[in-house]
Structure 1
Amino acid sequence: MKYIKTKRLILRDWKESDIPKFIRLNGDKDVRRYFPNVATPEESKEFVLSAQSDIDARGFGLFAVERRDTNEFIGFTGIQVWEEEGPLKLHFLPTIEIGWRFAKQHWNQGFATEAALGVVKFVERNTDIKEIYAYASSINYPSINIMLKLGMEKVQTFEHPLIMEGHSLKTQVVYKTDVKKRHRFRL
């Protein structure tokens, strides 16, 4: 099923054929440079199954993204629900988080921003969600730049409890946006 179309992208359900491509994407050290490690094939497959389960249950989630011109799977973008339980004890939980990850050959072409803007418009038009949060390592400038392009504002810095002391990824930043405010962006 197709959920969101933008000028160049389709955000849709996951397909079985996406899994090997997603495993390769998550095994790329450059793609995972702002994570403590690369993902195993099992972790990538579990991610896909969990993402599709959320989409089936809620009508939204972390969608597979494909290019409209080539029908090629290039990554994911979407939103997920963060509950209070779990290792992240942040003041704004439970909440909705927006996220993205793309194969390296599709970087620096505006795909992540375009897809994320499509998700924000989808949320605005199809849900009663009022706020969306995003978080990333404080040194993950590419993701922070996308957050800023979405009109998000920084609300918190925290030390990630699952990352060891002294690691360059330990300090994380949290941004948020009010979905119901009209965005100055157009798809």
Structure 2
Amino acid sequence: MPELRTDRLLLRRWRESDLEPWAAMNADSEVRRYLGELLTREQSDATVTLMRAEFDARGFGWWALESRETGEFLGRAGLDVVDESMPFAGVDIGWRLARSAWGHGYATEAALACRAFGFGTLGLSEIIATTTVHNLRSQAVMRRIGMTRDPADDFDDPSVPEGPLRRCVLYRTRREETHGLHH
């Protein structure tokens, strides 16, 4: 599993020591605000098992996110294959940070590293990102890393029950559009 390094962050393989802070994030109603129900410790641990297996099988996926300065676990960032149930296909970029890590530019920094890996190492021609229409902070990160939204691409997530989290936005960036963006 390749590691990615930025000025302040290490994107690395998941460790057993990540399970507790990851579970705390998944039990935080603010972190889960646009994601749905809170996860139990067992459910949270199962997501790590799945993320590890998918990364090993594909050579990319969700990295654990760590502060290079303190070694603190900050969340996750990475690239994921879009689920077949979605009304579009491709590779999705994403991030989820502990509340204590919000507002420091970590999501943008990690996303730029993931984008560079996707276009450079994986040779992708396009990367997409999705979130609920209400998650304005995530949409701001998408714009900061050079992604654009066409409202005609907005969609209802078939995996989400009817309600405020169902309507989503889709942002895109193509490899040729990344010139001049730092990573």
CA contact (8 A) 2:146 2:177 kept: no
Q: Given that residues 132 and 176 in structure 1 are in contact (C-alpha distance below 8 angstroms), is that contact kept between their aligned partners in structure 2?
A: yes
**Percent of pairs identical after alignment?**
37
* SS of match in other structure, 1:10: strand
Identify which of 108, 114, 135 aligns with 1:113.
108
Match of 1:33 in 2: 33
Give the Cα–Cα distance (whole angstroms) in 1 for the partners of residues 49 and 179 of structure 2. Answer: 32
Where does residue 164 of structure 1 map in the other structure?
161
* Structure 1 unmatched runs, 5+: none
Q: Alpha-carbon deviation of 1:49?
A: 1.0
Once residues 43 and 181 of structure 2 are traced to their aligned partners in structure 1, the CA distance between those partners, rounded to angstroms, is 35
The amino acid across from 1:141 in the alignment is L
The verdict on how the C-alpha distance between 1:3 and 1:126 changes in structure 2, with shifts beyond 3 A counting, is same
Alpha-carbon shift at residue 58 of structure 1 (Å): 2.0
- Give matches, 1:12-161, under 5 Å: 12-84=12-84, 86=85, 88=86, 90=87, 92-93=88-89, 95-155=90-150, 156-161=153-158
Whole-angstrom CA distance in 2 between matches of 1:162 and 1:125? 31
Local SS of the residue matching 1:17: helix
Specify the SS of the correspondent of 2:48.
helix
Greater helix content: 2
Give TM-score scaled by structure 2 length: 0.93
- Give the distance between the partners of 2:176 and 2:17, measured in 1 at CA: 36
Unaligned runs of at least 5 residues, structure 2: none
Partner of 2:171: 175
Q: Which amino acid aligns with 1:52?
A: R
Task: Provide the C-alpha distance between the structure 2 equivalents of 1:162 and 1:174, rounded to a whole number of angstroms.
Answer: 15
**1:115 counterpart letter in structure 2:** A
Residues 128/2 of structure 1: CA separation in 2 closer, same or farther (3 Å cut): closer
1:22 match: secondary structure: helix
| Secondary structure class of the residue paired with 1:35 | coil
TM-score calculated relative to the size of structure 1? 0.91
- Describe the superposition over 1:159-178 as per-residue Cα deviations: whole angstroms up to 9, x where unpaired: 2223333x222211111110
